């Protein structure tokens, strides 16, 4: 009788703990979903049902792929969500962060984070999906980008006029300029050129983020782009006493790219590598053909990037902590990253402190090459 009472007490205690846990999860401001090891829904909290307008009892036991079909009418890209959730059954060890648009009572921009949930014995219990409403953040970011774009555009015209005037003065238009006067005008000219570069970079990034960057895609040679970019930055590299060497096979298939923008990607990566290379060093550029792509790697022997700073290296206005301060807009890598993505390519960096960095990007082959 005592043993039966003890079991009953433990069962009641476990039920109370489960109820308390459900209450805590229901009070959480983020929308939560727990799927079991078979990718079927085991629990959803109140916030999720409110966010998607779905009754809790109708979701229990359904597969995540079924959930995507139920939500399909409100999803901006239902097929992408369905494929991603279906794939979670195979990608058990990965933490993923994605964004998607859901239209219920209003248009929502949601951030989805998925992570595996493990038992104490190391076996997989299932996956946790967290949905966060980032609609307001996206709107604020859009307004900020728009403001920066307008302000930069308004600044570019007077800055161009100032630079033109300085060029004329230094060229002797108003008489010979010598001594300290010339030195001060050259300082002003250099500062003006740097401001114009910054304004142009901000405008480029603003266009990309606003979806207004129009690419003129055509078959083109990535090798030719690397050669043009190396010539473009030669004087800059000479100033750092750095050489650029290109290693490429005799023949490479054409990629599908915008010539000017591909040149911009390569030039930005080369400029960054040169800037952080030691005097007398060499920046190596390696070109290789891969499955459906041509890959370009820009390799330097600079100070390298600490592992904890790698995730933000392609962010705007980023400077590596502890690295020597170098002149630049802080937007070169962000623009390169954005432009590669606009080309449906990939870009990443491998780096070790004290050994240098390897920036790699891939551009898809031209359609005729992919079909052959």
The pLDDT of residue 117: 86
The pLDDT of residue 323: 55
Residue 23: which domain range?
2-133
Domain co-membership, 238 together with 349: yes
Domain co-membership, 166 together with 148: yes
Is residue 103 packed enough to be buried (19+ CB in 10 Å), middle (13-18) or exposed (0-12)?
exposed
Domain co-membership, 161 together with 26: no
265 vs 212: which has the higher pLDDT: 265
Model pLDDT for residues 97-128, shown as the tens digit of each residue: 888 999 888 889 999 998 888 888 888 888 89
Domain co-membership, 228 together with 351: yes
Say whether pLDDT at 327 is over 60.
no
Domain co-membership, 109 together with 162: no
How high is the mean pLDDT of the chain?
Answer: 84
Say whether pLDDT at 138 is over 90.
no
Say how far apart CA 272 and CA 276 lie, in whole Å.
Answer: 7
Find, among 194, 343, 215, 335, the residue nearest to 268 by Cα.
335
Number of domains in the chain: 3
Examine the fold and report which residue of 99, 133, 167 is the final residue of a domain before the chain moves on.
133
Examine the fold and report which residue of 209, 237, 258 is the final residue of a domain before the chain moves on.
209
Say whether pLDDT at 33 is over 80.
yes
Say whether pLDDT at 325 is over 70.
no
- CATH label of the domain that carries residue 245: 3.30.565.10
Domain co-membership, 74 together with 197: no
How far, in Å, are 170, 193, 265 from residue 182 at the CA level?
7, 16, 35
Domain co-membership, 122 together with 204: no
pLDDT band for position 163 (50/70/90)? confident
Domain co-membership, 121 together with 26: yes
**Most confident of the following: 55-69, 156-170, 264-278:** 264-278
- CATH label of the domain that carries residue 90: 3.30.450.20
Domain co-membership, 232 together with 351: yes
Model pLDDT for residues 332-371, shown as the tens digit of each residue: 888 899 999 999 999 999 988 888 999 999 999 998 776 5
SS (H, E, C) the chain: CHHHHHHHHHHHHHHHHHHHHHHHHHHCCCEEEEEECCCEEEEECHHHHHHHCCCHHHCCCCEHHHHHHHCHHHECCHHHHHHHHHHCCCCCCCCEEEEEEEECCCEEEEEEEEEEEECCCCCEEEEEEEEEECHHHHHHHHHHHHHHHHHHHHHHHHHHHHHHHHHHHHCCCCCCCCHHHHHHHHHHHHHHHHHHHHHHHHHHHHHHHCCCCCCCCEEECHHHHHHHHHHHCHHHHHHCCCEEEEECCCCCCCEEECHHHHHHHHHHHHHHHHHCCCCCCEEEEEEEEECCEEEEEEEECCCCCCHHHHHHCCCCCCCCCCCCCCCCCCCHHHHHHHHHHHCCCEEEEEEECCCEEEEEEEEEECHHHHHC
Model pLDDT for residues 257-308, shown as the tens digit of each residue: 999 999 999 999 999 999 999 999 999 999 999 999 999 999 999 898 888 7
Domain co-membership, 116 together with 156: no
Domain co-membership, 164 together with 24: no
Domain co-membership, 249 together with 169: no
Examine the fold and report which residue of 186, 209, 232 is the final residue of a domain before the chain moves on.
209
């Amino acid at each position: 009788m005592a043993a039966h009472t003890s079991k009953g007490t433990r069962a009641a205690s476990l039920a109370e703990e489960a109820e308390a846990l459900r209450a805590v999860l229901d009070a959480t401001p983020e929308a939560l979903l727990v799927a079991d090891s078979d990718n079927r829904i085991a629990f959803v909290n109140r916030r999720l049902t409110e966010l998607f307008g779905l009754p809790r009892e109708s979701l229990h036991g359904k597969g995540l792929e079924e959930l995507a079909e139920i939500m399909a009418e409100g999803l901006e890209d239902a097929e992408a969500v369905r494929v991603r959730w279906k794939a979670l059954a195979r990608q058990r060890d990965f933490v993923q962060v994605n964004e998607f648009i859901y239209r219920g009572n209003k248009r929502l921009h949601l951030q989805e984070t998925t992570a595996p949930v493990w038992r104490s014995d190391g076996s997989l219990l299932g996956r946790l999906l967290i949905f966060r409403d980032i609609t307001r953040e996206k709107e604020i970011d859009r307004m900020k980008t728009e403001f920066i774009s307008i302000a930069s555009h308004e600044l570019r015209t007077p800055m161009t006029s100032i630079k033109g005037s300085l060029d004329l003065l230094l060229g002797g238009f108003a008489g010979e300029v010598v001594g300290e006067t010339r030195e001060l005008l050259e300082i002003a000219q250099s500062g003006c050129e740097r401001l114009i570069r910054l304004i142009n970079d901000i405008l480029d990034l603003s266009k990309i983020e606003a979806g207004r960057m129009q690419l003129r895609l055509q078959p083109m040679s990535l090798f030719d782009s690397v050669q043009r970019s190396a010539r473009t930055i030669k004087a800059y590299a000479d100033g750092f006493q750095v050489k650029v060497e290109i290693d490429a096979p005799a023949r490479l298939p054409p990629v599908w790219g915008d010539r000017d923008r591909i040149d911009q990607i390569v030039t930005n990566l080369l400029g960054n590598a040169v800037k952080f290379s030691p005097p007398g060093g060499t920046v190596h550029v390696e070109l290789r053909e891969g499955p459906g792509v041509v890959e370009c790697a820009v390799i330097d022997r600079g100070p390298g990037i600490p592992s904890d700073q790698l995730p933000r290296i392609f962010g705007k206005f980023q400077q590596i902590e502890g690295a020597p301060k170098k002149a630049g807009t802080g937007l070169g890598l962000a623009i390169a990253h954005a432009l590669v993505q606009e080309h449906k390519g990939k870009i990443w960096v491998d780096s070790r402190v004290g050994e240098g960095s390897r920036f790699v990007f891939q551009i898809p082959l031209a359609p005729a090459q992919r079909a052959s």
